[in-house]
Amino acid sequence: MTTTLEKLTPRQIVAELDKYIIGQHDAKRNVAIALRNRWRRMNSSEEMRAEIIPNNILMIGATGVGKTEIARRLAKIADAPFVKVEASKFTEVGYVGRDVESMVRDLVEQAVNMVKAAKKEEVKHKVQEIVEDIILDVLIPPAKRNRSAKNAAVTNVEGETVSDQELNERTRTRFRDKLRRGDLEDRKIEIDMQSSQAPNIGVMGGAIDDLSMMNIQDMLGGMMPKRNKKRRMSIADARKVLLEEEAAKLIDMDEVKEEAIRKAEDLGIIFIDEIDKIANASSKSGGVDVSREGVQRDLLPIVEGSTVNTKHGPIKTDHVLFIAAGAFHVSKPSDLIPELQGRFPIRVELQSLSQGDFCRILKEPRNALTRQYEAMMQAEGVVLRFEDDALDEMAAIAFQINSEVENIGARRLQTVMSTLLNDFMFDIPDVIGAGSEVVVTRETVQTRLSHLVKNRDLSQYIL
């Protein structure tokens, strides 16, 4: 579990983040240190391991400057369970809505899925062989061994006398080769599938929490008998279904759950967005402010460290890394309750993006919008090429719209790019066929976008 982190120094983590996120060096440094500290804790003495608590981070910055992307990429680099939640979606205990513990349950669910996927990869080759044999048994049933002497041998077209058993094996071998080449993917076969008739549950009376509902569903699902149901489908579809079924038989789910709980406890990252929405912007009490403070007080024990019951078992949140983020336009971090402020000791202010940053965002990241559209057009056999001055013009227009209407950061580039290329995307492949080249120049950008800015007709850019 620590192998991935062991190979990543803070500088290497920042270098990885630089491949996808432009600027925000301070934020990258702080999350890199926080991530490396997890490996340092797990490799410290057993006595101190329980005492070292994570330095939770509060990111302050406008929308679209990279807060969520930094947290998401960080989790991907560390191969860690990651959950993003909006603080404004939670309600105080006693009100109808999501309770704050649901984010921890989501984290454990994510960890279970990750561990299960890793276990499936480990048994992948063994499962593929088992599934191959199941499909072959449907196509060419194995020869019966108790055949009479009269039918025990046959003469093939070459005049060679072979046993019925040997002939069957040769046929199976030929079909196995065809299966591996993909020659039989569209052929229809009938397979036995397990189906559990788990009933849909409705609860009368008072409200029931998510965990209790999940436990009831699992309990009733386990009580219902498993039945085999025959289904006719193509070999390609049958293979997908059988791979899932056979992999599930080889994986020890108790072991998966134990490992997932450990992974969530030691490596889990919970990103709490819009935390400024639950801060009290004014000193007035009553109504909404009371509810906001209630959500903060419900969050507090989880961020401090507590045990949360999930359907996979209890999980301690003492060493889960919490990254909170908010624009704090109306409120400020000091408007949060003091206890919660103290649980986010690292404060990072993210800078607003400049026109130059927009231009770099279009050119440099591995997942740049330009590369995404190039890949989509390449799928149709069309080459898309952007001239440098066209990208400069797009960046200038996006920056201008953000300045004059509403600053939504780098997300504005998606709207600008979509408006610019929608006509081309519509004409492919009917008008612009395979083998064509689409070149986007400064003139193209000005023709399709600039007049909207000059006329201040910006309605199309409002998300």
- Residue 281: CATH number of its domain: 3.40.50.300
- 362 with 397, same domain: the answer is yes
Q: Are 393 and 385 in contact (CB under 8 A)?
A: no
132: in domain: no
pLDDT digits (tens, 9 = 90+) for 141-169: 876 655 554 455 555 555 556 666 777 78
Q: Long-range contacts made by residues 353-359, C-beta under 8 angstroms, separation at least 24?
A: 353/22, 353/23, 353/64, 353/65, 353/399, 353/409, 353/410, 354/399, 355/395, 355/396, 355/399, 356/395, 357/22, 357/23, 357/410, 358/394, 358/395, 358/398, 358/399, 358/410, 358/413, 359/391, 359/392, 359/395
Q: How far apart are CA 85 and CA 320, in angstroms?
A: 15
Predicted confidence (pLDDT) at residue 196 exceeds the cutoff of 60? no
- 198 with 298, same domain: the answer is no
DSSP codes joined into one string, 172-217:
HHHHHHHHHHTTTTT-EEEEEEEEE-PPP----SS---HHHHHHHH
Q: How far apart are CA 206 and CA 75, in angstroms?
A: 38
- 153 with 104, same domain: the answer is no
- 9 with 112, same domain: the answer is yes
Percent of the chain with pLDDT over 70: 80
- The pLDDT, as a whole number, for residue 155 is 58
Confidence of residue 294 (pLDDT cuts 50, 70, 90): confident
463: in domain: no
- 361 with 437, same domain: the answer is yes
- 164 with 228, same domain: the answer is yes
Element housing 309 (H / E): strand 307-310
- 111 with 15, same domain: the answer is yes
40: in domain: yes
Which of 314, 349, 384 lies at the terminal end of a domain, its last residue? 349
- The pLDDT, as a whole number, for residue 10 is 92
Token pair of 340 as six digits: 């919660």
- The pLDDT, as a whole number, for residue 165 is 76
Q: How many CB atoms lie within 10 A of CB 75?
A: 22
- 413 with 432, same domain: the answer is yes
Predicted confidence (pLDDT) at residue 59 exceeds the cutoff of 50? yes
CA–centroid distance for 21 within its chain: 18
Predicted confidence (pLDDT) at residue 58 exceeds the cutoff of 90? yes
Q: Work out the average pLDDT over 108-118.
A: 94
Q: How far apart are CA 322 and CA 445, in angstroms?
A: 42
Q: How far apart are CA 85 and CA 232, in angstroms?
A: 41
- 286 with 244, same domain: the answer is no
pLDDT digits (tens, 9 = 90+) for 95-108: 555 688 999 999 99
Q: How many CB atoms lie within 10 A of CB 391?
A: 21
Q: Are 382 and 437 in contact (CB under 8 A)?
A: yes
- The pLDDT, as a whole number, for residue 257 is 94
Q: How far apart are CA 1 and CA 80, in angstroms?
A: 9
Confidence of residue 284 (pLDDT cuts 50, 70, 90): very low
More confident residue, 170 or 65: 65
pLDDT digits (tens, 9 = 90+) for 335-359: 899 999 999 999 999 988 899 999 9
pLDDT digits (tens, 9 = 90+) for 398-449: 998 888 877 888 888 998 999 899 999 999 999 988 999 999 999 999 988 8
Q: How far apart are CA 345 and CA 186, in angstroms?
A: 59
Q: Work out the average pLDDT over 279-303.
A: 73
Percent of the chain with pLDDT over 90: 38
Please tell me whether the peptide bond between 301 and the residue prior to it is cis, using omega within 30 degrees of 0.
no
Which of 193, 217, 250 lies at the terminal end of a domain, its last residue? 250
Predicted confidence (pLDDT) at residue 123 exceeds the cutoff of 60? yes
59: in domain: yes
Say how many domains are in the chain: 3
Which of 316, 349, 382 lies at the terminal end of a domain, its last residue? 349
Predicted confidence (pLDDT) at residue 273 exceeds the cutoff of 70? yes
pLDDT digits (tens, 9 = 90+) for 386-411: 999 999 999 999 998 888 877 888 88
pLDDT digits (tens, 9 = 90+) for 170-190: 888 888 888 888 888 888 888
Token match 């990258």: residue? 28
124: in domain: no
- 446 with 362, same domain: the answer is yes
Confidence of residue 230 (pLDDT cuts 50, 70, 90): confident
Beta bridge partners of 232: 190
Predicted confidence (pLDDT) at residue 43 exceeds the cutoff of 60? yes
Token match 């088992």: residue? 130
133: in domain: no
- 64 with 114, same domain: the answer is yes
- 242 with 199, same domain: the answer is yes
Q: Work out the average pLDDT over 1-25.
A: 83
- The pLDDT, as a whole number, for residue 206 is 44
123: in domain: no
130: in domain: no
Q: How many CB atoms lie within 10 A of CB 105?
A: 20
The domain containing residue 240 runs over which residues? Answer: 138-250
CATH of the domain at 412: 1.10.8.60
Angle 357-273-414 (CA atoms, 0-180°, nearest 5)?
40
When the pLDDT of each residue in the chain is averaged and rounded to a whole number, the result is 83
